[in-house]
Amino acid sequence: MQQPALIGDIGGTNARFALTDLAAPGPQILHEETFTDAAFGSLGDAARHYLDTLGAKPRRASLAVAAPITPGKIELTNHSWSFWRHELQDRLGLDELQLINDFAAIAWAAPYLAERDRVTIHGTPVTPPQGPVTLIGAGTGLGVALLTGSPAQGWHVVPTEGGHASFAPTDAEERDILAWLGVRHGRVSNERLLSGHGLSNIDAALRGIAPVAAPAHQPGSRRSKEVVDAALSGNDPGAEHALRRFCRIYGAVAGDAALLHGANTVLIAGGVVLHFLDFFRSSDFLAAFTAKGRHTAYMEHMTVQVITHPNPGLLGAAAAVR
């Protein structure tokens, strides 16, 4: 007999929902739907719409949310939605509501990723990935999580807010970008560079556009998709340079996270890189990742892969609810 549970992956742009069968031998993603956050006034509205459309009445749920999971009110980092756990649980008619950080969900998914769900950038692929595993991904924001353990010992997920650690430039051009972002934001976190809006920031800074203090719109900036399309066209050296700088910074930050975690494996997630995966693989990402002075040889032993599974957040929520 099926035991349905609601699962969700709630980001700053999209809300993805599905059901999973707790009676199945492994985590499943069933009846998946994606909605834009802007189409609903709240997370409760979006989730209720999904369940009503299916006519489903699950008693348990696991929702991965792009926010720190605290005992109080949950506020999405890159969207206006906020909610109280008990109110959302009541709204959805649930006996149990599990909330996990969105990148913790990616970590929960990692042991269930097949080799076809990962593209290797460096090292030798192992299934499941050899822990400790650093998970990092630029999307609407920058997520970071840690996975420790093994199939024999069991897995343990450590959610973090590592994307909000301070940015550390590695050369003169990055110091100039840092100064530009300092005018916009004051303190500059890694997420200000490694995200969709981060690529837009890098491009604007390198093109010499005068910065204005946030939250005002930055005149003259291009959306990240415009920068990527221009870079891949081969007709815009400035956009290509911005994208290469983005990849180099990504490598340096991912390498720092791996050092902090003592990682054996680094898994890169998030939607941004999948739009230019071939470019990413041929970029300076790996050179910057391994350029850690006396620990360069240590870094070269790590396996680095990009997750290509279409919905690792949902897969992780399905694993966590079990």
Average pLDDT over residues 290-299: 96
Omega cis (within 30) before 4: no
Q: Is the pLDDT of residue 175 over 90?
A: yes
> pLDDT digit string (tens) for 192-237?
999 989 999 999 999 999 999 998 889 999 999 999 999 999 999 9
Give the mean model confidence (pLDDT) for residues 5-15: 92
Q: What CATH number belongs to 4-109+311-320?
A: 3.30.420.40
Partners of 269 in the β-ladder? 137
DSSP state of 270: S
Kindly indicate whether the domain formed by 163-307 is annotated with CATH number 3.40.367.20: yes
Q: Residue with structure tokens 């997920």?
A: 157
| Three-state DSSP class for residue 143 | strand
Residue 12 predicted with pLDDT over 90: no
Residue 318 has pLDDT above 80, yes or no: yes
List the one residue out of 163, 173, 128, 139 whose CA is nearest residue 256: 163
Report the DSSP beta bridge partners of residue 15. 10, 35
Dihedral-angle region of residue 160 (phi above 0 means left; psi in -120 to 50 means alpha; beta otherwise): beta
End-to-end CA distance of the chain: 16
Mean pLDDT within 308-315: 94
Query: Could you tell me what percent of the chain has a pLDDT over 90?
Result: 83
Spatial separation of the C-alpha atoms in residues 95 and 257, rounded to whole Å: 37
> Could you state, in order of their start, the residue ranges of all structural domains in the chain?
4-109+311-320, 163-307
pLDDT greater at residue 287 or residue 140: 287
Predicted model pTM: 0.90
Average pLDDT (306-317) is 95
pLDDT at 126: 87
Exposure letters 154-175 (e unless 16+ CB within 10 A, then b): ebebebbbbbbbebebeeeebe
How far is Cα 252 from Cα 110, in angstroms, rounded to an integer? Answer: 22
Q: What is the pLDDT at residue 183?
A: 97
Q: How confident is the model at residue 72 (pLDDT cuts 50, 70, 90)?
A: confident
Listed in sequence order, the DSSP H helices in the chain are 43-54, 85-91, 102-109, 172-185, 196-206, 224-233, 237-261, 277-282, 285-290, 296-299, 312-320
Q: Are domains 4-109+311-320 and 163-307 of this chain identical in fold?
A: no
CA-to-CA distance for 71 and 151, rounded, in angstroms?
Answer: 30
Does pLDDT of 153 surpass 90?
no
Q: Which pLDDT band holds residue 68 (cuts at 50, 70, 90)? A: confident
pLDDT digit string (tens) for 128-139?
Answer: 888 899 999 998
